Structure 1
Amino acid sequence: MRDVYDRNREEQVFDAGDRVYLSTQNLDPKHSGLPNSTKFGPKWIGPYTILRKIHNHAYELNIQAGNKLHPVFNTGSLKPYKEPSRLSRPHNVILADSTVGQLVRRLLGKRRQKQRTQFLVEWVGEEKPTWEPVENLK
């Protein structure tokens, strides 16, 4: 049974000094400093720094003194922290007709919302594709 469960699952491995988010799914709101309602609270809090590895599936986090939480958590409650990229817009380039624009790598999809057509555009120099109205692509 274990091999069937683990077939498509990667084991999360962190090192000391890595930053992670902590799931609020099993945290008591009274002790974590979250709003009283778990429905309207965040799903992940942090980022926290990993202080040390306890064993393969547990890590000690740098929890603030105000939180009444035990600092050791299972890897199932942790998610790697990714630095937000500040370069969210593609680079401007000078096009052949001497106007300024952005380079499109490829179009990934098309949708229609409220009588407006949008394309899923993968930009050159951009990580994530964005939905753009057809007027922006002319």
Structure 2
Amino acid sequence: MLDGPVSRRGGLTARLSSAGVLPNAPSRTLQIIQNFLTRRVSVMQQIHDSIAAAQQRQSTQANKHGRSNLASFAAGDQVLLHKSAVPAHAFRTRAVGMSSNVKLRSAWNGPFTVLRVVSPTNYKLDLSNSWQIHPTFYVGKLKPYPPPLSTSTPDEATANDPLDPAAALLRLPPPSTSPPPASQALPPATLTPPLAAAA
């Protein structure tokens, strides 16, 4: 039987008799915990530094190739979406102007309206609900939709453009209804027609 910290039978404390070792003194336990925490903080700092270095390497590598399309758009702009950003199942809906054949499909789809600027490199587009895909895309998969060509008559600003055919027509004098003056009249034909000469 144990009558306190020391056994009458063996003269050992209860802890020593069951574990076979003396318990750690409180000052030694505190030192072990401090060493453990110091090692953990050191390991965590090494992990943090390694992750930061890996992110920097990946960023450098990613920026080295591609990433040239850094255009910016505003809400309401019209954009075209590259086909690599849209999964194949979205094209099974037979949207207008899109071929179900992958080889015949245009590389750029759209136009789509930018609903919201999520970040400087990500934009939320107004997509068809039948596509059932997330509507936010990276700027590298977008390009500006060109405005439609004007079908109106040229105004004063383009009337002086020498390469514009419509402007050249505007520069012509209006047709006259009176006969041309005698000085501008064509001379009478002096050659006989080939059929009349043969007869």
**Is the shorter-chain TM-score for this pair beyond 0.5, marking a shared fold?**
yes
The equivalent residue for 1:42 is 106
The equivalent residue for 2:170 is 93
1:18-97 equivalence runs, <5 A: 18-32=77-91, 33=93, 34-87=98-151, 90-91=166-167, 92-95=169-172
Q: Which has the larger radius of gyration?
A: 2
Mapped partners of 1:83, 1:21: distance in 2: 12
The equivalent residue for 1:111 is none
Count of matched residue pairs: 97
Q: Percent identity?
A: 26
Mapped partners of 2:110, 2:165: distance in 1: 26
TM-score (norm 1): 0.57
The equivalent residue for 2:22 is none
Mapped partners of 1:39, 1:30: distance in 2: 15
SS at structure 2 position matched to 1:66: helix
Mapped partners of 1:71, 1:17: distance in 2: 15
Mapped partners of 1:40, 1:10: distance in 2: 25
Cα distance, 1:86 vs structure 2: 2.9
Alpha-carbon contact 1:61-1:72 (below 8 Å) kept: yes
Alpha-carbon contact 1:51-1:62 (below 8 Å) kept: yes
CA RMSD of aligned residues (A): 3.1
Which structure dedicates a bigger proportion of its chain to strand?
1
SS at structure 2 position matched to 1:76: helix
5+ long unaligned stretches in structure 1: 101-138
